Structure 1
């Protein structure tokens, strides 16, 4: 698969998901690393994370308004 085809497939993969402020891909990273990053992001008062069952381990990051 060419880079263009891969990019197009990745874009289509996210069409069914909400529009996050950031998407963090981990690829082959260990579950421990993913959990560590998720916990660190969640300690912020302005960020919220969620995990979606995509082909790769992925975190969707949203900015939240805590006013």
Structure 2
């Protein structure tokens, strides 16, 4: 319970400072700083494989996969 209250207090402080400094300081590095201050692990968004429909039945589905990490 103390951990949750502590995280909420840190979030409130960071929101108040963000409100005072404005949008100019609110860039991705600021988000990373907030994550580090709150001791929360930030996970990057996982990219998924995208598939396209094959027009003909003789095309293998493996040939149509596009790798998202290219």
TM-score (norm 2): 0.27
- Radius of gyration: which is bigger? 2
Higher strand share: 1
TM-score (norm 1): 0.28
Higher helix share: 2
- Name which structure has the greater RCO, CA cutoff 8 Å, separation 6+: 1
